[in-house]
Amino acid sequence: TGVLMLIKKAEDIRSSEITPKSLYLNRRKFLAGAAIAGAAAATGLGLREIVSPSATVLAGNKIDGIKKSPLSTTETVTPYKDVTNYNNYYEFSTEKDEPAKLAQKFRTRPWKVKIDGLVDKKQELDVDTILKMAPPEERIYRHRCVEGWSIVVPWVGFSLSELIKRVNPTSKAKFVEFSTLLDLAQMPGQQRNVLQWPYVEGLRMDEAMNPLALLCFGMYGEELPNQDGAPLRIIVPWKYGFKSAKAIVRIRFTDKQPINSWNISAPMEYGFYSNVNPNVDHPRWSQAKERRLGDFSKRPTLMFNGYADQVSSLYSGMDLKKNF
Ligand code: MTE
């Protein structure tokens, strides 16, 4: 019990949590399909624009000038409703349907991000200054949780390297550490010791500089919903989802490997690298397969979550069973 049991393997997710939703979605898709296709033809908008939530989500926080990225997958995007109501965000709750409610009033402005450690100039940047550092791109990535479920999300952001280049880490910096906001008043989950707070994650510098690593502030053409990590998070698509820290307030450059929160809570289960690897089982379950939210059956999990071409050279010569 306790922390170890909080992460559910795919088999433990009650089928009632998955099946009715997919049935519902499939039926809706079928019924809506003809109407949507007709509308797309009539308006000249692409199918994706009509199906995407920009028309239905009325937060009014559309991001302008988003460029499409060649790094996107062409796989079917997971419905917005599923992605924003099935979240791991332990600062709010360990239940997946609760962050959507509990994070509703979370204040994401004003928001400062501290840049420190081994950099030329330690500084505090306003999140809106960071957002202007490079043009926003849509990156449709596969996102694979260590628990065995996966989603395909059109994130909005730009390569983390754009920020790193601008803040000038020194030549001694070998790693970069990300910390989430610590705020017990706003984040009720932090009153429980399920993890060490604040949530800390880290990357090796060459991983962080890989063009796939995304500094993310939006999804589906809009600003990130709070439950998905607003106002700023990272997305590291070749690693298990827990590496992709939400609500970042500090980016620290260091010469030592950062100690990530999940590694502290269960060192035998969650390592520093956490690369998606179907050949290395979690001590309590296999990682060979995954269930895409909305699907009935499982599909094989791909090495580095399908991003091997872009990232496998980062790990050449490393024993991936040891460096899990
Ligand atoms: N970041 C913070 N700060 N707190 C968290 O609990 N959960 C991680 C990751 N980032 C988490 C976090 C896990 S386990 C996953 S799978 C992803 O966020 C889920 O991201 P999503 O809710 O946007 O799909």
Q: Which of 168, 165, 170 is nearest to 134 (CA)?
A: 165
**How close is the Cα of 224 to the center of ligand 1, in Å?**
13
- Name residues whose C-beta falls within 8 Å of residue 298's C-beta, 6 or more positions apart in sequence: 10, 289, 290, 291
pLDDT given for residue 102 in this prediction: 98
DSSP category for residue 236? -
Q: Please report which confidence band the pLDDT of residue 10 belongs to, taking 50, 70 and 90 as the band edges.
A: low
pLDDT digits (tens, 9 = 90+) for 34-81: 444 444 444 444 444 445 544 455 466 999 999 999 999 999 999 999
Residue ranges with strand state E in the chain = 67-68, 112-117, 123-126, 137-144, 149-159, 175-180, 200-204, 214-219, 222-223, 233-235, 248-254, 289-292, 299-300
Distance CA 94, CA 84 (A): 15
Residues within a 6 A CB radius of ligand 1: 87-91, 145, 180, 199, 228-229, 241-242, 244-247
As a 3-state breakdown, the chain gives helix, strand, coil percent values, each rounded to 5, of 30, 25, 45
Atom of ligand 1 nearest to the CA of 247: 3
Distance CA 18, CA 12 (A): 11
pTM: 0.86
pLDDT digits (tens, 9 = 90+) for 108-147: 999 999 999 999 999 999 999 999 999 999 999 999 999 9
How many percent of the chain have pLDDT more than 70? 81
Atom of ligand 1 nearest to the CA of 99: 22
On whether the CB atoms of residues 187 and 249 are closer than 8 A, the answer is no
